[in-house]
Each structure stands twice: as structure tokens, then as C-alpha cells.
Structure 1
Amino acid sequence: MRILHTSDWHIGRSFHGHPTLDALRGVLDALVAQVRENDVDVVVLAGDVFDSAAPAASCYSVLSDTLLKLSETGARVIVTSGNHDSAARLGFQSALLRSNITVLTDPAAVGTPVTVDDADGPVHFYGIPYLEPAIVRHRWEGVELRSQAQTLGHVMGMVRDDLAERGGRSVVISHCFAAGVEATPGVEREIRQGSLDVVPLSVFDGPDYVALGHIHGRQTLSDRVRYAGAPLHYSFGEGDKPRGSWLVDLDAEGLGSVVWLDLPVPRPLVTLRGTLEELLEDPAHARYEDSWVCAQYTDATPQLDPMRRLQRRFTHCATVVHTPIGGAADDGDDYVARVRRARDDIELVDAFLTHVRAGEGATAAEKALLREVVDARTMVEASA
């Protein structure tokens, strides 16, 4: 049996304020083409289908159109919910879907598989929606469920008990933060917001393959436990990680092979660092002019309107960060102390400039200009 493992579509998510729906449609069309070209039998989508619990109407059309296209390939499609999804909204129409599309969002059904047969016999797919311990613990009385590790440990015990009775090969689909993951920037925010904690890898002992979601970059925790990552780049911290899916083959004995299928990247991401002048003028950066750009300019002092100036060259400059190097050394006093020590208006302004310009106070020319302004104001006040 051939399985395509994908996850974390995050339909509706923006990229630094820019919409991503059109780009995601194109990437998901490429995924559908891969399903057809590789004669995939089952597509598993491991959670975070949407980016929010209340997605816009346009997000639903992306999902329904993609599910329809996947269904038309002849593949079976199994979808579970993640911590970003509303299980109720994602699952409400599951009974109305085509017979080869299954959406699993009900915690009560975690021990009951979706069974798909091939020439070698049955393969049991156990879909585990994201389970918030505080919400689901009442379902299993007498079991302490205060963490993701405890909750998934209990559920996987149910899976193993059911599999022992049924026999055959098995695949688990889950959305969690598993031990051994190499964290990437942006992931930690989601872990805290979703109250996710680390799940030991041993929790997933037993099945022939474990298709995980939640981490946005592909990761291999063992031959049989993997993250596919998101189909789009959703942060600059993911920029060096490929986008794609795992193509998993099960033979008569269990896991046969796993290969990676790359998906196209609609617009590459790059982080550029240098002075603002270097970023604007260096010909070496010409190849990035159509990329998503994170610009880190290193001038000692903040520059005027850097985003507008950078976007003249890099149309898709999405974020600008001031990361100064080589600024004048500060005297070690904090801003409040310098303000209190100031003897006149010029020293007060100088203290402010030192604070906001990475330790660089007023230049001689700036002090001369300040002196002119202060003297002019003094003359006006004296004549009033």
C-alpha cells in the first residue's frame, strides 16, 4: 500500500500580513498531481488543516476543492484535526463527504480505525485528533490525564489493544510535539499557545508507521515516526527547510520504504544582512529581488523609512530588523540615570539619542544645531 503523508496546511494563514491562499492552492494542486503520478492509495493529513478555529469562507473552498481533486485520483483521504482547528467546524460535514474521504475529529473514536485493504490484507489507520487534556479527561474516568504525554499514552494503549484483536498492519496519525524534535523558530509560540508538551517517542511504539503533524519542517525521529511539515513556508525561520510530503510504502510485513517528494516553493525566502546602503546597492543581491526578504540592516543608528526604501528594490520585502554592529560604546548608565544627570536641554537630548541610537550620542554638528535652537528659544522667551 502506498501512502502520502502531509500535514499543517494552515489554510488562511498570512505571511507577515500577506495572504497565502493563492500560493497554497498552487502547491496543493502540485500535491494532487503527485498523488496521481505515484498511484497513491491513501492520503493522510495530520492536523492543522486550517490556521484558525473560525476560518473565512475562502478557506473552506480551498479545502473542499483540494479534497475533491484528491478524491478524483481514486485515493482514500483521511484527515485529522490539529490544535489550530475547531474539531466541530472541521468535522461537522464529515457524514456528507464522499465515501473515500474521512475526517476524524471525535475523541470517542480514537480506538476505532479506518481500515483499507490491499493485496496483502488490511491496513488499519488510527486517526488521533488533537486532544486537550483538560477537555477530554472526563471521557476516561479513573485515568490521570494532565499532559499530552499522559493523554497520548492512554490513547495509544487503546490503539495497541484494538490492534492486538484485529491483527494486520497499522498507521497512526497524530498531532503533537514529540521528543527528539529539532525546534525551529516560530514553533515555540504555537506550542505554548496550544498547551502542547513533549510526548516521549516510546508512546508511539507498535504501529508500522506514525504520521505526525505540528512541526512545520520535515523531521525523521525514527524510520517509522516522521513529520512531513507544512506545504508552504510560514516563517523566515523555516526558509532553509524543504517543502513536501513523505511517500510511504507498506509491504506484506509492514514498513517497506519511505521517500521524500518535494513540493514547489512559490516564492523563496531569504534573510539578507548588511548596512542599508549595502542592501540597496550590492549587485550580489539582485537574484533576491523577487524573493520574500527579511532585511537585517546593521547601521549603527536607525535609518529613515527603511521598509519603503527596501521595497523599491525588493518588492516582497516582508520585514525589516535593525541589528546594529560597531556602534559607539555606552557609558554603562541606564537611560533614566542619564536623564537625571542632564544639566541642560542639550544634554537631555543627547541622553535620548544615546538611548535610541545604540549608544551613539549627538554628533558635534547635531550639538551645534541644538545649541542654535535652544538659543533661539531663549531669545523668544526673553522678549515675551
Structure 2
Amino acid sequence: MKLLHTSDWHLGRSFHGTGLLDAQAQVLDVLLDTVREHRVDAVLLAGDVYDRALPPADAVRLLDRALRQIRAAGAEVVLTSGNHDSAVRLGFGGGLMEAAGVHVRADAADLARPVLLRQRHDDGARGEGEPGQTVAVYGVPFLEPRHQGQAWEVEPNHTAVMTEAVRRIREDLEARRAESASPVAGVVMAHLFAAGGHGSESERDIGEGEHVEHPGGTPEALVGTLGQVPVSVFAGLDYVALGHLHGRQRLADHVRYSGSPLPYSFSEANHRKGAWLVTVEGGAVRAVEAVDWEAGRRLAVIAGPLDALLGSAEFAHAEDRWVQATVTDDERPERALERLKTRFPHVLVFRHEPAGGRRTRERTYADALRQAPSDLALTTGFVDHVRERAASPAEAALLQDALEASRLAEVRA
């Protein structure tokens, strides 16, 4: 039996003001090709289906199309809600969709009620494991620690809440294994920040800066404000399909992030986007393979003096990509962004960061304002203060003309 682990579709997201729906449609077409090529039995979508709780209509239509196509290709779908989703809205109609092979887990009350994927006897090409094996997929929606901790009477932090969730799952899984004459593999889907994972700039903070106790008693300090769950919480499970972090990564053989199918920040420029293809045979995970996807415009992060960015072959790869450009000249070059766009028409982020560091100001602008010897010195000083480059002679002349025109207008009034 083959499972495709994906997450963080963020349908409806924009990238620095640029809509990504077309690129998202492209990558979902590539996902569908993967389902067909590898004869995938189930697609696991571990949260952040949409980018916000109230997704735009086009994003809803895209999800509807994707789910119909995946089902038509022969794969079931299990999806959970992430911290960007509205669990109630995503879960609407879940009972009806389940009958059609789309299983939504958006309610914590259902996390110990698995989706049971059974080995197909009528199609030997779909999995070559032991006859009758079952994969029990437990979908854990994003759990808000304050609310869920109170409901379950555990500490209101991510580790305590997830530990309790997994305890309930293990209890159900062990009972099913005891009652079944055939192998049962336990797969958990969850949306969280796991300790040891590497984040990027595009993930929303889901933590409270907690300090928690590792289940084995070892204290673990959390980094920044992201509540992190120790990987040891998932011990004994066959596979854990995580969502939330946008880089595909392995935390343990059985605990992995698929990452987002598209880059959603320039910190992901070097990510290999795709999914994990998980093969289950005889009630155990036998292989986990990376599947790479290419869709949408790629990203490039470039930096250097403006003349080098415009003339060097080193940066030719960025000419057709979305670009974050950092100009390192000591002074901000004139018309820097406009000139960059002649070579890199898809610049989305422009920065000026002098290689030698920014100038140390000898006095504040308020001091300069009080000490300006003339109106022209005041205006040219403002230009210098804001853009960190002195006004050129032509600019100074233009400002002088404007000041003269203003004085003349006052006299006429």
C-alpha cells in the first residue's frame, strides 16, 4: 500500500502581493500525476489546506477540483485542519465526504477514530504486502493548547496536549491490533512544530514560549516563541506525517515533514519541494521516498553592488525568477530598483544594505532640522536622511526651483 504525505497547500495565498493560485493549480496537477504514476492508495494532507480561515472562492473551487481528481485517480484522501484553517468550515460536510473517500479530521473528538485503509485484493498492482493488511490513519487537527489542555485536564502546552492525543491514539491502535488477525500499521497525521525541525519565514507562530518537561523527565527549553513537541512523543508509531514547517525534512525515520508544495518565502529559495511516498507492507513501513515537484516560478536571492547585479553572468539564473535583491553599494544607487528590473523583471523584494554597514549618523534629524542654514539645506538634508544618499546637483536644483515657486505663490497670495 502506498501513501503520499503532503501538507501546507495554503490555497489562496499570495507572495509579496502576487497571487499564487495558478501556480498552486499547476503543482496540484503534478501531485495528481504522482498519484497516477505510483498508484497511490491514499493522499495524506496534514493541515493548512487553505491560507486563511475564510478562503477566497477560487481557492475553494481549486480544492474541490483537486479532491475530485484524486478520487477519480483511485486514491482516498485524508486531510486535517491546520492553524491557518477554520476547523468548523473545513469539517463541514465531512460525514458525506467520508462516504466518497475524502476523510476530514477537523475535530479533536475524532482523532482516535482512524481512517482504515485496507489492502486491496482486486488489484495486485496496488501494494504487494501481506493480504488483508490494514493501515489505520489517525488525523490530529491543529490543537490549541489552552482550549484542549483545559478540555483534557492536562497542562496547556503543545507537548502535554499532543502527548495526551497520542496516548488516546495508541490505546485505540493497540486494541485494534489485538483484535485483528492481520497486520495493522499505525499512521498519525499532525500539525505542529516538532523539536529539531527547521522553520522558515513563511510559517505563522503557533507557540507561547513555553518551558515544558519532556515525557521522560528531561527539561526542554523551547526556541523563540514556538512551542515544540519532542519527537519521542511519537515513539512506537509506524509513521508520523507532520505539517506546519514548509521545508521537507526527516526528524526520525518514522517522523517527517513533507513541507509545502510551493515556496512561500524567500527563505525557501533552496528548498526541494515535493512530498514523501510511503510504502507499507505487512503492516509496517518498508520505504519512504522523496518525490520532487517543479511548478510555478522559482525563487532567487541575489546580493551585491548594483553594477555587478546588472552585469555579471553569476546572476543570469535569476533573470526569469521571483527575485529578492540586496544592493550592497555604500550609497543607495540612483533609480536602483528601476534599473534592476531591466534585467530582473520579477523583483518582488528590494533592499539596500551597504557592505560596510550603514552610516553612523553624527546627529539626529531633529538636530539637523534646527541647525539647517537655509530651506534648501533643510530639504536636501531630508533627502539624504531618508535615502542615505546626498541629493545630486540636478535634484538640488529641482528642489531650489520648487522652493522658489512656493515663495512666489505665497507673495501672490
Aligned partners of 1:148 and 1:175: how far apart in 2?
A: 11
The correspondence for 2:231, drawn from 173, 179, 201, is 201
Post-superposition shift, 1:310?
2.8
Go from structure 1 to structure 2 and tell me whether the alpha carbon gap of 1:343 and 1:9 turns closer, same or farther (over 3 Å shift).
same
Post-superposition shift, 1:278?
3.2
Go from structure 1 to structure 2 and tell me whether the alpha carbon gap of 1:193 and 1:336 turns closer, same or farther (over 3 Å shift).
farther
| Aligned equivalent of 1:239 | 269
Aligned partners of 1:283 and 1:46: how far apart in 2?
A: 41
Aligned partners of 1:172 and 1:161: how far apart in 2?
A: 13
Tell me, yes or no, if the aligned pair for 1:345 and 1:374 is still in contact at 8 Å.
Answer: no
| Aligned equivalent of 2:154 | 144
Tell me, yes or no, if the aligned pair for 2:193 and 2:227 is still in contact at 8 Å.
Answer: yes
What SS does the corresponding residue of 2:14 show, helix, strand or coil? Answer: coil
Tell me, yes or no, if the aligned pair for 2:239 and 2:285 is still in contact at 8 Å.
Answer: yes
What SS does the corresponding residue of 1:237 show, helix, strand or coil? Answer: helix
Go from structure 1 to structure 2 and tell me whether the alpha carbon gap of 1:376 and 1:13 turns closer, same or farther (over 3 Å shift).
closer
In angstroms, what is the RMSD of aligned CA positions? 3.1
Deviations along 1:160-187, one digit per CA (max 9) or x if unpaired, are 1111211121000000000001222333
| Aligned equivalent of 1:166 | 176
Tell me, yes or no, if the aligned pair for 2:376 and 2:400 is still in contact at 8 Å.
Answer: no
The correspondence for 2:142, drawn from 106, 130, 137, is 130
Post-superposition shift, 1:44?
0.4
What SS does the corresponding residue of 2:18 show, helix, strand or coil? Answer: coil
Deviations along 1:71-121, one digit per CA (max 9) or x if unpaired, are 012112101110000111111022232521111111111111111122252
What SS does the corresponding residue of 1:89 show, helix, strand or coil? Answer: helix
Deviations along 1:110-147, one digit per CA (max 9) or x if unpaired, are 1111111222522111100001123334532xx12411
Aligned partners of 2:402 and 2:32: how far apart in 1?
A: 70
Go from structure 1 to structure 2 and tell me whether the alpha carbon gap of 1:176 and 1:375 turns closer, same or farther (over 3 Å shift).
closer
Matches within 5 A, 1:257-268: 257-268=287-298
Matches within 5 A, 1:1-384: 1-97=1-97, 98-118=99-119, 119-140=131-152, 143-167=153-177, 168-187=184-203, 189-191=204-206, 197-252=227-282, 254-326=284-356, 329-330=359-360, 332-340=362-370, 342=372, 345=375, 348=378, 352-353=382-383, 355-358=385-388
Post-superposition shift, 1:150?
1.5
Post-superposition shift, 1:380?
7.9
Aligned partners of 1:307 and 1:362: how far apart in 2?
A: 17
Aligned partners of 2:191 and 2:31: how far apart in 1?
A: 20
Tell me, yes or no, if the aligned pair for 1:307 and 1:319 is still in contact at 8 Å.
Answer: no
Aligned partners of 1:85 and 1:30: how far apart in 2?
A: 23
TM-score normalised by structure 2 residue count: 0.82
Between the aligned residues of both structures, percent identity stands at: 40
Post-superposition shift, 1:253?
5.1
Aligned partners of 1:61 and 1:328: how far apart in 2?
A: 48
Aligned partners of 2:47 and 2:2: how far apart in 1?
A: 20
Matched residue type, 1:229: G
Post-superposition shift, 1:370?
10
Tell me, yes or no, if the aligned pair for 2:208 and 2:227 is still in contact at 8 Å.
Answer: no
State the aligned residue count. 378
TM-score normalised by structure 1 residue count: 0.88
Matched residue type, 1:109: D
Post-superposition shift, 1:342?
4.9
Go from structure 1 to structure 2 and tell me whether the alpha carbon gap of 1:277 and 1:202 turns closer, same or farther (over 3 Å shift).
same
**Which runs of 5 or more structure 2 residues have no equivalent in the other structure?**
120-130, 178-183, 210-224
**Which runs of 5 or more structure 1 residues have no equivalent in the other structure?**
none
Go from structure 1 to structure 2 and tell me whether the alpha carbon gap of 1:331 and 1:233 turns closer, same or farther (over 3 Å shift).
closer
